[in-house]
A and B are shown apart, each in its own frame.
Chain A
């Protein structure tokens, strides 16, 4: 069964087949466990490098079909990917340590991309919410915005309100169960990407 939840234009959620192939670079060498004062560092800082040159060079990209490619791979190998973009077969993955500006620098009109995914390595990394918000409100992205990675049902309501309209639930969890969490609250206080604060939404007097 698919792990992908998608919101239709009317907000209806359903589980749909994932037609995109996610491109994952090979694992880095011994550098992959990062430590600081004896503790394993869990989060990459904003602006930190996502993949090494070696990882990028060694990433295999299938010749056909719709591919979802990390931003750093696009940056390094855009010549070979240009035709896929033109064919509408290219989506970009932004990691939470990368910036929306870096993405904007690559695509003057983000809407040439049918899909942008934000990859959250650990669910507790709330940068994904600001990135979603920015892509929708600041950069005017109108196509599919997908949360991928450590995506769990208890954050879905926030993802949705931060502008995401598809959610790839972590492989070991049920997407079916997760559907319910999209509707945890019926009338939130503050505005979200798609709505205004409650006092502008309803008459509370």
Chain B
């Protein structure tokens, strides 16, 4: 993974000093709330319901064992001994003291970490596929460009105060796992007819209050021009994006208002001035950064391991875990392991300080000391030898990190919700926990099969509910908490936005509602159709009919 040189280190050190002074001035009354707000947000600090929340950047989801131990220690020292992995692959602390945040950032800087631009109206953490570099279906490893873009976007002088937040995702696989279509800019890397790295550029996607999937603005962009092209897009947005209404301020609204053709014309006009200028990435710079993402020193291993095969055959619990939590790897004899942060009845994405240490030890022992976080809020050991899987499983299970539910209904994607977040209309974690308990039967979960359930506590959609096969959105009706349900959303190359099934439900009704949606699926599915396929074939009607028929007779 990327390692800081003296320039990177100096920038985060200077950032700590800058933020320390800003916070001092705020506490001394020299900065108003309104003036301090964008400063703290661009350092990841929210003022929340009970306490501030600090969002720490995990650039494109890559983290070392040393960094994870530091996060565990920080969570213990400054918080309540746990953290929460977010849907942007970052780590959130829910209970730090504002006064402590400069010190936390200083500690983070010692392990090449920071909280820069994890919030605020600026370019946010760039996200990607958690299997980047090892996925069998990967065409281009996008991490070197992602790192170059992280540096370019860090304290970008022109884009420090955009109309609204700006999210970029990069992906270089056949099967998109980074939801590039749900981002302000999505960059899909591929090899063009000359065999060169090229990029398909999507623009204007986003979830939130007005969910819109992105549109392709450029089919073919040479990688050298990715910074100048993004700069042109964001410049047009910075000038013309709406600033009069926060709900209409994302780039997706501007793209819709102008139409993609006119938006593209303006971008191309701007780009004509920037193209081939100093923003053009040199081969030297790409090579310098890319060397940090070279393949690990893998051993030459046989594709099969007899002891592993025997363990799978004789141990159903291990076999179940292998089926759900072990993913393919491009190198023979290696696998990726997803450590589930979704044990039934616990807040999705939460991890204790002790677990962080266990995971860091596992990474050191079995996966070259590195980890990834996923937007599904789990942790990944990307490079585990097949012969080590059993040992990893035993240790992960002991630490409560081996729930074999990856990709199943209880692998719920969930924002912190009304328990923590001051933006939320409704709680989300208790809903997730109640659904997990309702379906706390692994055989039944396997029978239901692949299903993505996403929960957001408000229309800001941090839980990406629009692209969940089942999406749950917390809404406020006359001061009480209700839940609106959508079906048919999907992430990936064939992404779609879910459709609302009807009037919303109370918290107590939610596990039953999900149960009834599943009943329709089990009744109607053909062959090995997944839930999403059945919804796409039949539409919302039968699901709606069953859910609300039950409700009336109940």
Contacts and interface: CB of A to CB of B under 8 A. Distances in A.
A and B are interacting partners: yes
Interface of A: 36-37, 39, 41-46, 99, 123-127, 129-130, 133, 137-138, 152, 154-155, 157-158, 160-162, 181, 184-192, 196-200, 202, 204-205
Contacts of A204: 5, 7, 285, 288
B162 interface: yes
Nearest to A39: B245
A138 B273 contact: yes
Interface residues of B, number: 42
Contacts of B156: 190
A133 B158 contact: yes
A201 to B, nearest CB: 10
A39 B227 CA distance: 37
Candidate in A138, A181, A205 with the most chain B CB atoms within 10 angstroms: A205
A190 B152 contact: yes
B518 to A, nearest CB: 40
Contacts of A45: 242-244
B31 to A, nearest CB: 8
28 contacts: A37-B245, A42-B243, A44-B244, A45-B242, A45-B243, A123-B161, A125-B243, A126-B159, A126-B162, A129-B157, A130-B158, A133-B158, A154-B31, A158-B161, A184-B14, A186-B14, A187-B7, A187-B11, A188-B155, A189-B154, A190-B151, A190-B155, A190-B156, A197-B227, A199-B284, A204-B5, A204-B7, A205-B288
Contacts of B238: 126-127, 129-130
Contacts of B160: 126, 129, 155, 158
B155 to A, nearest CB: 6
Question: What 3 A-B pairs come out closest when comparing CB atoms?
Answer: A126-B161, A161-B157, A43-B243
Given A160-B157, A189-B155, A204-B288, 10 more contacts: A39-B245, A41-B245, A43-B243, A99-B239, A129-B159, A155-B161, A186-B14, A189-B7, A190-B155, A191-B279
Contacts of B121: 124, 126
Contacts of B273: 137-138
A121 to B, nearest CB: 11
Candidate in A123, A158, A181, A197 with the most chain B CB atoms within 10 angstroms: A197
B50 interface: no
Contacts of B151: 189-190, 198
Interface in B174-229: 227
Main secondary structure on A side of the interface with B: loop
Contacts of A123: 35, 161
Contacts of A186: 10, 14
Interface in B276-304: 278-279, 282, 284-285, 288
Contact of A129 (B18, B158, B282): B158
B14 A162 contact: no
B372 to A, nearest CB: 24
B239 A130 contact: yes
Given A186-B14, A187-B11, A197-B152, A42 B244 contact: yes
Nearest to B242: A45
Contacts of B5: 204
A154 B14 contact: no
Given A42-B244, A130-B239, A204-B5, A190 B38 contact: no
A191 B278 contact: yes
B244 A43 contact: yes
Given A126-B238, A204-B7, A190 B245 contact: no
Contact of A46 (B14, B31, B240, B282): B240
B11 A189 contact: yes
Contacts of A198: 7, 151
Contacts of A124: 38, 121, 161
Given A41-B244, A199-B285, A46 B239 contact: yes
B22 interface: yes
Candidate in A157, A160, A184, A190 with the most chain B CB atoms within 10 angstroms: A190
Contacts of A152: 35
Contact of A162 (B38, B157, B242, B282): B157
Given A127-B238, A184-B18, A189-B151, A197 B278 contact: yes
B157 A157 contact: yes
Interface string B422-450: 00000000000000000000000000000
B396 interface: no
A192 B244 CA distance: 28
Contacts of A189: 7, 11, 151-152, 154-155
Contacts of B158: 126, 129-130, 133, 158, 162
B39 interface: yes
Nearest to B152: A190
A154 B61 CA distance: 29
B235 interface: yes
Contacts of A39: 245
Given A126-B162, A197-B152, A154 B22 contact: yes
B535 to A, nearest CB: 35
Nearest to B278: A196
Contacts of A200: 278, 282
Interface string B148-171: 000111111111111100000000
A127 B239 contact: yes
Contacts of A197: 152, 227, 278-279
Contacts of A196: 278
A197 B154 CA distance: 12
Candidate in B5, B7, B279 with the most chain A CB atoms within 10 angstroms: B7
Contact of B161 (A36, A125, A202): A125
A151 to B, nearest CB: 12
